[in-house]
Structure 1
């Protein structure tokens, strides 16, 4: 009676041994090492077995059928090719090293050789290296050389991050002198008085600096615009003036400069004027137009002729 169960068990074991592992056609490798479960599914704890280095960040590795057969045999995995295009594509994600990270390291290395702190560094044919997405890169600049006569520089860059081999590349470029230029931060209309939050300093290559552009907030804050300004547009000194204290066509108080007397009258401003500027004003009583000086909001002084 015991022979039949034993026989059935013996027949069942080869059937279980013939159950094939499932191939994983595509896999994303996050770490620096390729493991068994990047190639085959359902291996349990065995899936953590390391096989070799992963492709570099941003690169792809294709494991063909012959390699898969060898890996399966070496690790006692029941798998064999189906006769089709059996292969596994391994992708390693990567992010490009930020250009500013490289430029900052270059500035520090080139500063002792005479490169101005505010100079703009232009790189020639720069292809940023790829690093693991979550890695913190360590950037080292080696053999930095700067020529003050031509403003050109050269250097070697070493990039190290967890999960990848050290990458080295050669950099070349030039340092460009920059100067400050005041630009608008918002759209402003004619006559608006510039406030501190309406402007910001922006450094531009010296060759691109527009002649007559304001280069400090003190030159513009408190001034009125003679022309509209758009965000990012440089503010030109010729388009800035003292704000008007007298509007054209407005009624003003006319103060006559007569020794020993305080005489005032109502007048109409024929032009707008900033504080201290001269403008024609018509006396509303006599209808005579005289020249007066704006001395405050809605007030002008008619000075006696000597």
Structure 2
């Protein structure tokens, strides 16, 4: 081997040895996601001890300062007797975290109710905890929070829930109330019997969902254009039984009595003895013959004789 080759070999071995024996170098401020700080987190060139825990991490979402003397003592305990401090007197260790707040917890309760089929169309649901929930910092590992169990009986208000935070190491037990309401039609003002309901007569206000089921939900479309059966007060919940089709002919109204038979149409004047809505029957007095006949209200002020054929004299 030539002299030059020997020198090259010695240089290579020296460089390899120096590299193998390079001291770990302290890193600047670091961020971790687990409960411990490892050698690899704290040092560059950590070597075979890279995965060894050297400190406990601070609480999720917080930062702790570790001074150089504490780092030297902890490193010595696991066999690192020297390292490059890089001029640092302390290292800030931050543990990454996620926030769990009250809104997230309520969303989980709502999702469970929906999965049970308890949130029907048109039902407004409000979840209220029995105490205020401050935002909670949790670790970034996995899901921030999940609902472990919900105790709630359909139709009731009270509930209790258990939540598991982040890595399942923390349990949060909460109680509260669940209010379910439905918007239902109410009168906007006091109105007399017979009033034909217009859109401005009706306001939609919330009522408990159970009450809505008991009274039978009445869509506003089925109420507008109907007549109130009795004098009604402002704020009254409107049901289908509170209204009926408006009268086309009222009692004592003067009406035109029509009788059709083939091409023949006969009309005479009459007076209603009873009232009737369109398509309903009523009793009418023929003012010419003074006879009382049965007819059907076909339009305001107009009735038609229907049923078995009658003679003209019978009118």
TM-score by length of 2: 0.49
**Hey, what's the Cα distance between the residues in 1 that align with 2:288 and 2:258?**
14
Question: What residue number does 1:55 align with?
Answer: none
Paired residue total: 185
Alpha-carbon spacing, 1:239–1:108, altered in 2? closer, same or farther (3 Å): same
Whether 1:245 and 2:248 are equivalent positions in the alignment is yes
Following superposition of structure 1 onto structure 2, how do residues 1-306 of structure 1 map, counting pairs within 5 Å? 107-115=106-114, 116=119, 118-121=123-126, 123=128, 147=150, 149-150=152-153, 152-154=159-161, 172-209=175-212, 211-306=214-309
Alpha-carbon spacing, 1:153–1:182, altered in 2? closer, same or farther (3 Å): farther
Q: CA deviation at 1:124?
A: 6.6
The answer to whether the 8 A contact 2:150-2:161 is kept is: no
Q: CA deviation at 1:283?
A: 0.2
The answer to whether the 8 A contact 1:246-1:272 is kept is: yes
Gaps of 5+ in 2: 1-100, 138-143, 164-171, 310-315
Which stretch shifts more, 113-122 or 240-249? 113-122
SS in 2 for 1:181: strand
Q: CA deviation at 1:147?
A: 1.6
Gaps of 5+ in 1: 1-101, 130-136, 157-168
Q: CA deviation at 1:153?
A: 4.1
Q: CA deviation at 1:244?
A: 1.0
Return the index of the structure with the highest Cα Rg: 2
Q: CA deviation at 1:191?
A: 0.6
Alpha-carbon spacing, 1:183–1:254, altered in 2? closer, same or farther (3 Å): same
Q: Deviations over 1:154-197 (max 9, x none)?
A: 489xxxxxxxxxxxx98521324444432222222211111122
**Hey, what's the Cα distance between the residues in 2 that align with 1:228 and 1:112?**
44
TM-score by length of 1: 0.50
Q: Deviations over 1:68-99 (max 9, x none)?
A: xxxxxxxxxxxxxxxxxxxxxxxxxxxxxxxx
Alpha-carbon spacing, 1:212–1:256, altered in 2? closer, same or farther (3 Å): farther
The answer to whether the 8 A contact 1:105-1:139 is kept is: no
Q: CA RMSD in A?
A: 3.6
SS in 1 for 2:297: strand
The answer to whether the 8 A contact 1:248-1:269 is kept is: yes
Q: CA deviation at 1:144?
A: 5.9
Q: CA deviation at 1:267?
A: 0.3
The answer to whether the 8 A contact 1:212-1:238 is kept is: no
SS in 2 for 1:221: coil
**Hey, what's the Cα distance between the residues in 2 that align with 1:196 and 1:155?**
46
The answer to whether the 8 A contact 2:130-2:177 is kept is: no
Alpha-carbon spacing, 1:225–1:180, altered in 2? closer, same or farther (3 Å): same
The answer to whether the 8 A contact 1:245-1:274 is kept is: yes
Q: CA deviation at 1:210?
A: 6.5
